[in-house]
């Protein structure tokens, strides 16, 4: 019986990989919705990602965020007219027509509510950044994924840039610490770093991984500097640039040498390739536990700011958000 079950599972997985997956999008108020669809649906695109096609969407947006409300109609038109995407009214309807779901609402606040019917329908889900509008909601998404047995993944394109992969392969010796800088404009309805600071934060976590214990933050008009201390003695510094030029880069400090990330050509294709692989295998390339800690890092930075720059324990903000220590 066990051999039959194993053979059936392997056959089902192979069939899923061979077939073109049907993808549904929830939230059409960001260029990610149209750009991701272009990469998947246009087989002639030079960076085309095979294996899936966006076929249906739910038009969702946030009236109190100008970057959402002012753009959603234009993106809906592109999805309908250029890519033949069908629109339905609810996530429940969408889930009946797809194999997997991408939640693309630019606003993190509705993500938990948008994800609930997807988990209930047992569809693997990619939730675009930020995974939620609060640490409490991020923890709840983690709990729902675990209790439902439905795979969930979120990630920044920064994590998969060629230059980031190259940086991680560099022989710097034992890593003592890292510095990541990049854009950090704020949005009034989100914690300070969730809006754009998530990108350089994820870049920092890409090279250091989980394990941050304390966070402290200093703020100025043009930038915030956030310092994390990892349990193994490493340090990670985030510089979130608020205005002016906002380049991004990661620098690794090893006991052999210092290595800098090379200039990057922006592309969503490596991220989307990871998303499709995730949909095919059910294995997230970044564990949700690490994602939750990353959002706790950013929440601890806000708490440190409220406390005048005092160090804040990541475990404390996690506990306050409903996280159960493991």
- Which CATH number belongs to the domain containing residue 304 in this structure? 3.30.360.10
**174/315 same-domain check:** yes
Which tens digit of pLDDT belongs to each residue from 190-217?
999 999 999 999 999 999 999 999 999 9
| Among candidate residues 88, 122, 157, the one where a domain is terminated | 157
**162/83 same-domain check:** no
Work out the number of other CB atoms within 10 angstroms of the CB of residue 318: 21
For 76-157, strand residue ranges (E) read: 86-88, 100-103, 125-127, 152-153
Residues 28/61, Cβ–Cβ less than 8 Å = yes
Distance CA 189, CA 306 (A): 17
**Residues for the chain: how many in total?**
326
**229/103 same-domain check:** no
Work out the number of other CB atoms within 10 angstroms of the CB of residue 18: 9
Residue 246 lies in a domain: yes
**147/226 same-domain check:** no
| Strand, coil or helix: 80 | helix
**107/198 same-domain check:** no
Residue 275 lies in a domain: no
Distance CA 26, CA 241 (A): 30
**73/176 same-domain check:** no
Residue 216 lies in a domain: yes
pLDDT band at 325 (very low <50, low <70, confident <90, very high): confident
Which tens digit of pLDDT belongs to each residue from 138-152?
999 999 999 999 999
- State how many domains the chain has: 2
Q: What is the pTM of this model?
A: 0.93
- Which CATH number belongs to the domain containing residue 151 in this structure? 3.40.50.720
Range(s) of the domain holding residue 203:
158-265+287-320
- Per-residue pLDDT at 10 exceeds 50: no
For 109-232, strand residue ranges (E) read: 125-127, 152-153, 175-183, 212-219, 223-230
**187/102 same-domain check:** no
**125/180 same-domain check:** no
H/E element holding 92?
helix 91-95
Residues 107/132, Cβ–Cβ less than 8 Å = no
Which tens digit of pLDDT belongs to each residue from 301-322?
999 999 999 999 999 999 999 9
**95/8 same-domain check:** yes
Residue 237 lies in a domain: yes
Residue 247 lies in a domain: yes
């Amino acid at each position: 019986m066990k051999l039959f079950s194993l053979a059936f599972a392997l056959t089902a997985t192979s069939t899923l990989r061979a077939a073109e997956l049907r993808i549904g999008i929830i939230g059409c108020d960001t260029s990610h919705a149209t750009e991701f669809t272009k990469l998947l649906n246009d087989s002639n695109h030079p960076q085309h990602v095979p294996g899936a096609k966006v076929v249906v969407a739910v038009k969702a947006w946030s009236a109190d965020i100008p970057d959402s409300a002012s753009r959603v109609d234009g993106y809906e038109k592109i999805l309908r007219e250029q890519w033949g995407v069908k629109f339905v009214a609810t996530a429940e309807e969408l889930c009946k027509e797809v194999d997997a779901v991408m939640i693309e609402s630019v606003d993190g606040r509705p993500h938990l509510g948008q994800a609930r019917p997807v988990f209930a329908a047992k569809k693997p889900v990619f939730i675009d950044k930020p995974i939620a509008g609060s640490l409490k909601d991020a923890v709840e998404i983690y709990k729902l994924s675990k209790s439902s047995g439905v795979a969930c993944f979120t990630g920044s394109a920064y994590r998969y840039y060629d230059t980031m992969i190259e940086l991680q392969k560099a022989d710097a010796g034992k890593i003592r610490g890292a510095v990541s800088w990049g854009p950090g404009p704020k949005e009034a309805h989100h914690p300070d770093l969730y809006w754009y600071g998530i990108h350089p934060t994820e870049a920092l976590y890409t090279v250091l991984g989980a394990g941050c214990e304390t966070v402290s933050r200093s703020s100025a008009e043009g930038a915030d500097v956030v310092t994390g201390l990892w349990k193994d003695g490493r340090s990670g510094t985030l510089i979130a640039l608020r205005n002016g030029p906002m380049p991004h880069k990661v620098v690794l400090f090893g006991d052999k040498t210092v290595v800098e990330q090379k200039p990057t050509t922006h592309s969503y294709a490596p991220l989307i390739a990871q998303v499709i692989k995730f949909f095919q295998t059910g294995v997230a390339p970044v564990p949700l536990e690490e994602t939750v800690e990353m959002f706790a890092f950013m929440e601890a930075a806000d708490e440190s700011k409220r406390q005048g720059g005092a160090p804040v324990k990541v475990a404390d903000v996690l506990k306050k958000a409903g996280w159960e220590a493991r």
